[in-house]
Amino acid sequence: MILVIDTQYWENYGAHDWDGKGECPQYWKAKGGSNYKISGAPQSLSYDELLKYSLAVEVNNEYCREQVMGVHFEENTWLSWFEKSQLEWDGEIVHKEPILTWTELLQKNAKDIAFMKDFADQSN
C-alpha cells in the first residue's frame, strides 16, 4: 500500500507586479495540485498523525502555496486522475506524480522543524 497526499496549489498573481517593497498584493488563483505517492508509510498511524507528517510537502510564501487537502492509502498500482488521463490520451505517463519514501518524508519534516527552530532562535 502507498500513502497518497492530495494537495492544492495556488499562485499569487498579485506578486507578479510586486517590487518587493511593502506588503505583497494578494490575488490568489487555484492552479491544480499533486497527489504525492509515499511508499513505506505505516498503516497503523491515525489519520491525524498521517496528516501531521504530510504537512512537510506544503509550501507557503508570497508567490505560491501548496496545501495538503487530504491523505489516504491506495494499492501500489494506484494512478492519479492526471496519470490515467495521460495513459488514455498519450498512451504513456510522461509527467508522473511526485514519489517519496516514508523516510524521505520524515527527513523533510526534520529539516523543516530544524529550520523553524533556528529561525525562532534567531528571532529572540
- The full set of domain ranges for the chain reads 2-16+27-123
Collapsed DSSP state (helix, strand, coil) of residue 3: strand
**Owner of C-alpha cell 510537502:** 57
Q: Are 37 and 73 a contacting pair, CB within 8 Å?
A: no
User: Residue 18 is placed in which grid cell?
Assistant: 510586486
Say if residue 124's pLDDT is above 60.
no
Give percent of the chain with pLDDT exceeding 90. Answer: 59
Collapsed DSSP state (helix, strand, coil) of residue 21: coil
- Rounded to an integer, what distance in angstroms lies between the CA atom of residue 80 and that of residue 72? 12
E runs forming strands in the chain: 2-12, 28-30, 35-39, 59-60, 64-74, 99-101
Backbone angles phi, psi at 44, to 5 degrees: -80, -10
Neighbouring CB atoms inside 10 A of 82's CB total 15
Strand partners, 70: 6
pLDDT of residue 102: 92
Average pLDDT, the chain: 88
